[in-house]
Structures are given as C-alpha cells and as structure tokens.
Amino acid sequence: MVEGGFAKLFQKRSFFRFAQKYQPLGSGEPEEETHEERALTIIEQEKEVTVLPPKDACKCHKEDLARALNVDLQTGLSEFSVLQRRLKHGWNEFSVENTEPIWKKYLDQFKNPLILLLLASALVSVITKEYEDAASIAMAVLIVVTVAFIQEYRSEKSLEELNKLVPPECNCLREGKLQHLLARELVPGDIIYLSVGDRVPADLRLIEVTDLLVDESSFTGEAEPCNKTDTVLLAAGDITTLSNVVFMGTLVRYGKGKGVVIGTGENSQFGEVFKMMQAEETPKTPLQKSMDRLGKQLTLFSFGIIGLIMLIGWLQGKHLLSMFTIGVSLAVAAIPEGLPIVVTVTLVLGVLRMAKKRVIVKKLPIVETLGCCNVICSDKTGTLTANEMTVTRIVTSDGFQAEVSGVGYNGEGNVYLLPSKEILKEFSNISVGKLVEAGCVVNNAIIRKNSVMGQPTEGALIALAMKMELADIKDIYVRKKEIPFSSEQKWMAVKCTLKNQDQEDIYFMKGAFEEVIRCCTLYNSGGISLSLTPQQKAFYQQEEKRMGSSGLRVLALASGPELGKLTFLGLVGIIDPPRAGVREAVQVLFESGVSVKMITGDALETAVAIGQNIGLCNGKLKAMSGEELDQLAEAELPSTVKNVSIFFRTSPKHKLKIIKALQRAGAIVSMTGDGVNDAVALKSADIGIAMGQAGTDVSKEAANMILVDDDFSTVMNAIEEGKGIFYNIKNFVRFQLSTSISALSLITLSTVLNLPNPLNAMQILWINIIMDGPPAQSLGVEPVDRDTIKQPPRCITDTILSKSLILKIFMSALIIISGTLFVFWKENPKSGITPRTTTMTFTCFVFFDLFNALTCRSQTKLIFEIGFFRNRMFLYSVLGSFLGQLAVIYVPPLQKIFQTENLGVLDLLFLTGLASSVFVVSEFVKFCEKRCCQPKNKGRS
C-alpha cells in the first residue's frame, strides 16, 4: 500500500513538472485542464510504446525507430517517460517465479515408492510393538531423505544465475545528459553508448558504429566476433545475421557504438532462453526409475507373502489375525531398509571419486545415469574446441608450406616446414619470417597472461610470432597511420617506418585474399620481390580455396611502399582447433557404444573440419542445418536426428529440439556446453555437462555436472564410474535379498509346519545386523572394474531385479536354506531343541551369509579375477562379522543373551566347509556363463 501511494504521488509530481516544462509561450498561469489533458495524452503515448522484435527493428530506418519507440535520438528519454515505461515493461531483469517452500521440497523426497514402503513397514513395527525396528527404519529413511534433499536444493539455482550475466552498469543518454546507470533501470527507447570491454545491457538496435566487433560466442556459438553496422537490413534472417542488432549479455571486443534499447528483461532474446528454461523440467534419472520399479516389485512381493501365509493359516484352521500379524512381520523383514542408504552412500562415494578426477557432480543420481548414456550431444566452441583462435597452416608466396602446433595464446608450440618437419625460428626461412613479421605488425591485439585483448584472429597472429620468437619485432617499427578494417573493404593496413632510420615508409596489409591480391603487383621469393603473374595468382587462389574448404579462416598478408604496389607475402589458415585428448575420447566412446554428435552455431565447413579432425562417427559424417531441422515434421525428427552427427547454424531452440527428438527415440542424452545458448539444452538433457573454466555461470548452474579443467576426456571417467555404480547396487540387492529370503523361508517353514523355531529373536536380530550392516554396505564401495568402459551403455528399461539376478538370488537362497535345515535336522535330538542345536544352526546361517557376500562382489567375474584384497572395507567388515560371531559363541555374557554354547574346532571346520558351498556353486555358475558367452562373442567379432 505504501509503495503504491508513493508511486502515485511521484506520478502526480512528474505530471505537474512535465506539464510546466512544456507550457506554451505567452501563457500566464498554467491552466489545470490543459495540464491534465496533456499529461493524459503523454501517458497514452507511453502506453502505446512496445518492445520491438530484433527481426523488425533491423529493417527500421533511424527515424522510424525513433517514432516507434517515441524517443528523441539526440537527447534520449525524459525521467517521466522512463517511469511510465517501467510501469508497463518492468525492470530489466529476470524474476524467478515464487518457488515451492523448503519444507514442501523436503516432504517431496518422501514420494519415492521405496521410502513410502519403508515408512509403512515402520508403522507396522510400531503397531506390533517392534519399536527398535521402527526406530532403525525411521533413522535410515531420515538419513536418505536429508542427503538427497541437500544435494537437490543446492543444485536448483539455474534461473537465478541468469541475472549474473546482466551487467550491473551501463552508459545511458537521458534528458540530453550521458548518465552512468544500473542496467536494471533501462527501458525500451533508452539510448546506450558501448565501448571496448562493455557487456551489452539489453537488446539494442545500433544507430551509430565505429569498427564495432561483438563477441556473441556465448549466445550463438560463433568463435569469431561479429562485425556490426548501423545500416538498415532489407531482410531479416537468423539472429546470427542481424548485423545492426546487439543482444543482451554479449561482449564488445573492439570499437564503439550507440544503440536504442528494443528489448529488456524477459522481452530480450536472452529472455527467450530464460522462458524456455522455466518451461523445462529436469527428467527423472534411470536409477530413480529403477528404484521406483524395485519399490513396486517389493511391495507386490510383500503382499504376496502376507496373502500366502494367511491362505495357509486359513487352510490349517488357524486364527486369521495371528497369521496376518506373522505375515506382516515377515513382509517388513523382507524389505531391504538398507538399500536406500547403500544407494546413497554408493552415489556419494562415486561423486567423491569423480571430484578427484576434476569432475563436480551436483545431483547424486546423475552419477549412475552416465552408465546408461548412449548419446553425447556436444557444443563445438569452447567444449570440443578451446575457443582460442590458432594459426595451423602457412603458405608463403614462393610456395613454402608449414604447419603449426600448439593451441591458444600461450606461445607454446612450433612452426614445422613441410615436408622436412624442420622447426623454424625467427628468419631461418626468410619467406615464412617475413609473412609472420607482417602479421605481427599489422595488429592491434595484446596477449597478457595467456589471454588476448582484442580480436582473436589478431591474437592468433601474435601467438604465431611468439612461436617463431618474433613477437617483439613490431617494436622496431613506428606506426604513422592506420586504415582500420571494415566489412566493406575487408582489409586493414598500417603505415610504418623503422625506428631511428631515415628510410621510406612501408605499408603492411592483412585481410581477405581477393581484396589483398588486388593491391599487389609483386610477390616475395626468398626476400626478393618479383612480378606477380596470372599463374601465381591462380596458384594462390587454389591454395586459399583448399584451406577454406578444410574449415580454416584464411588471411592474406602483404607489404610494400605504396598501397597499390604491394608485395604479396602469403596466406595463413586460422581455426579454433580441437582440445587436446578430444579425438582419443571420442574414439573410446564410439567403441563403447556411445554416439557423439556436434551441435554448433558455426558454418558447415568449419563444423565438418572439426568433426573430421576429432573422428566423429569414424569419419562417416552426415550434417544438417538448423533450417533443415525446422522443415522436418515432428514425426520424422527422432529417426532422422539419430543418424546425423553434425548440426550446424543452430539456435538454442534447435538444440532443445534435437535433444527431445533423441529422448523420444529412446536415447539417454548427455549435453556438453559452455554458453548461454546451451543452458536450455543442458537442463532438458538427461545429463547436462558444463565447462568449469570457459563456461558461463548460466551454463554451470543449468548443468548437473561440471568439468573443472574443461577436459572433454574426463567424460569417459564419469561414464566408467556410472556403469560401476549400477553393478555395485545390483551386487548389494543380490546379497541382501538372498539372505532375507533365506531367513524368511526358515521362519515361514517352521511356522507353517508347526516346527520349533530354529533361530531365536536375538539371533535373528544379529543376522539382520549382518544383512544390513558392514558386509552389505561394503559391497556398495567395490572399486569400479576397469573393463566397464568397454561395456555397452545399460538399457534404460533394465531393472535392478533382472531375470538372471532373480534366478541367482533364489539359487543362493535355496543353498542357504537347504544347508541350514540340514544342520538343524542333524543337530536336533528327539528330546527337543538344545542350545547346541540353535548355536550350530545360527552359526551355519551366519557363515553362509559371509560366503554369500564374498561371491556377490561381482555378477560376472570370478573372485580370482577381481582379487581378494581390492576392496579393503569388505575384508575388514567380513573379518569383523566373523570375530563378532566367535564372540557370540565363546564369550559367556553374550552366550546368555544369544542362548549359545561353545563349539569345537571340528564343528567350525564342518560349518565352514558346508557354508562355502554357496560360494563354490555361484563361482562355478559364473565360470560356466563365461565359457558359454565366449563362442558368441567370437562369432560377433
């Protein structure tokens, strides 16, 4: 209320001041009606001002633009107009919608079917007065829910981070004065001044420019800064072609400009990305789906047990309520309450192991999702490449060719003369030396701390000079004049003279080949200028085309005393090359069944050159543009997109379209990227992976994973970890279910057949501790098998309880039940159960448990292959459980509690031999499976 009243008061005062300011000449006292009418007219005019879409604004003349936005281009907006427009258009920022309260987010964690099942079992334990069970289950649930909540709460900041890219301040013309304002205060129609280093504060239609170059790589994926003009465009194409519009969040690399704000906040092009991100929901991970299915399977299993026991009891004429209580108790015991903890601990350990490999994982289940990933969609600029323009090829005017190693602006690398591979330094080859010298002199870039200040292409020429030890050569010249580069002339030249020498002036020129060659009458041959022949020109043109078709940006260089009589020096080929290790990573991923697709805003030639360089699809490339993608029908997308390896000239909407189509085709999609244009795709992919160093804040927050060193090859380590984690969870499930089914069956059989119970309550509790305790938990930390990366991605429809796992569970359970019942029968005298009977039966069951845990360390590999000592935690926990069992048998106070007695050495040896049968049989089954699978694999290869 107070804010509303203040706004109205401010408006009234503004009306009055505005009306007085524009009072007609010759009038005395201001007429109240005239003021009111004029103020209302102005308000109506301001209300009619709307944001201009970039594709409309680019076609407007300056006068039309001023009329549409109701602004004087010489003086800017008045404070009154700004206030009225802000009431309509809001602040120039992104407002995240009110999110759910923290307590609701916390409660949402309880919706997991397995968690609900555990809570139900805790409730039943309270009803049946098993308070210790209820407390332990409740504690397990709280731990799991809290860990998951903390992880997810920390990761949901992607929308808020968009504000960080909106610059805090800008230079704005208002009421005829240039003011330094907060960017959030801008409204449509404001006049903004841009200079080198500024981040563009809103979408602007340029009305004045001087050599303006804007880096739009975080937005479009283009590595090269865009030349901007103030001329009217006749037709509007893709946003990358709008040369007279600059977008919010992009960076001014060179020159200066003046523009009118045409879009602010959510009505900017940046805002389109914001709205798309708001609309996107992060998909459920395969592990979450598998755990949901397991929860439902265990629920059905529990109800099956209760129903079966009640049916048998009813047939035997027993009291139904007592049979129902027994059934529920057994069902509760069957539910592995340790499973959520093991899953959480396994995932946390996976996250910690990946952190050591410089990979940050923000959401726990994402670790395991990597094991299912079968498609990686990667942005090119800054991800597969370093976003550092580098000279890779040199062709001199007299036919020498050289290749250049090293990436980026650190000067590391060499220039190798071809074909001899001789390393060139300074002027060891005069033709290459003069070419590099010219590139260094006709240059305004500076390299400091391995980063370029100025144009990246000029930075690439300085880095080349550093590799040739010629970086200081420009200091021997004094620059007298500069003819700057423009998009019309497509070349730049400087007029210089040598320091302390009275020699004639010399021009150095660089630019597009066809423009530079026009200014040349001679060519350099080993330091001597010779007449330029048509044959020489044809040779250069052929070389320029060859370099261009391989994705290189070609620059021609020349020098001489007059602009029309220059000596042609040669050509340099520049590209943003692949990062180190990317080619090897792509090859390993391809061999393990993971398809890598490149999505870029760059042109076809550049994209294909990088694709071939990194070995995409083993060189069998198929490319598609964003426009072609738009023309495809929705039904055709999944089948078409699956077979394309390079997407070029794409926008954020295209990236989202590609990912959705792949997901509809059944793929688990990982998206790697670093720019604002990747943010929506990163959020909607099953796994979003951002770059830690080159990545924007928006991309890092939208992603689930961050590669700290921007090393694409660490994705392999992450996938290996993901595959290993799922196997560890299966190992734990096999051990726990086979143990719990065995314990349940023993109690069920004794209950149904009216036999004495082979185990007492304390002994069952001890077995439960082993079943859910250290030996079980240590299975979750089994180190990842080195062969897992070679395995194909796990199918998303694979459940944790697969048919083969269920068979192995029942096989182990059958052996344990048979062995334990045999000992119970053998040690059961006719007079009734004695302490020796229960001690032998109890110890037999525990030993079976420990041998079962040993074989559950791997589903496919024999114990000799994985090694006894690789998982130390497992060794310590099994040893601790064995010593604990001996204490229960031999320590007098514990004997009273557990109702046990001393056993002889022969008894222990007999029980060890019998219990080892579960281990021997399981290992024999693995051995047979390996022998059966080998011929099939040979046949496939």
Q: Helix H segments across 753-802? A: 761-772, 774-779
The residues, any chain, with a CB within 8 Å of residue 771's CB and separated by 6 or more, are 338, 736, 739, 740, 743, 849
CA distance 102 to 617: 46
User: 3-state DSSP call for residue 570?
Assistant: strand
The residues, any chain, with a CB within 8 Å of residue 447's CB and separated by 6 or more, are 409, 411, 453, 459, 462, 463, 466
Q: Are 222 and 242 in contact (CB under 8 A)?
A: no
Q: Are 275 and 656 in contact (CB under 8 A)?
A: no
Asked whether the CA dihedral 763, 769, 771, 776 is positive or negative, the reply is negative
What is the per-residue DSSP string for 231-254?
SPPSS--SGGG-TTEE-TT-EEEE
Instruction: Tell me the catalytic residues.
Output: 379
C-alpha distance from residue 648 to each of 93, 116, 608 (Å): 31, 47, 9
CA distance 908 to 931: 34
In 3D space, the residue among 132, 145, 137 whose CA is nearest the CA of residue 121 turns out to be: 137
- Prior bond to 419 cis, omega within 30? yes
Asked whether the CA dihedral 353, 357, 361, 366 is positive or negative, the reply is negative
The residues, any chain, with a CB within 8 Å of residue 28's CB and separated by 6 or more, are none
Q: Are 583 and 613 in contact (CB under 8 A)?
A: yes
C-alpha count within 13 angstroms, C-beta hemisphere, residue 720: 20
CA distance 937 to 941: 6
Can you say how many angstroms the Cα of residue 882 is from the centroid of all Cα atoms in its chain? 45
Q: Are 103 and 275 in contact (CB under 8 A)?
A: no
**Which tokens is 352 given?**
């910690």
Asked whether the CA dihedral 213, 217, 221, 222 is positive or negative, the reply is positive
Helix (H) or strand (E) holding 605: helix 604-614
For residue 581, how many other CB atoms are within 10 A of its CB? 13
Interhelix angle for 835-855 vs 905-940, to 10°? Answer: 30
- The number of residues in the chain equals 941
Residue 835 has φ and ψ, to the nearest 5°, of -55, -35
Can you say how many angstroms the Cα of residue 899 is from the centroid of all Cα atoms in its chain? 57
Q: Are 393 and 435 in contact (CB under 8 A)?
A: no
CA distance 310 to 308: 6
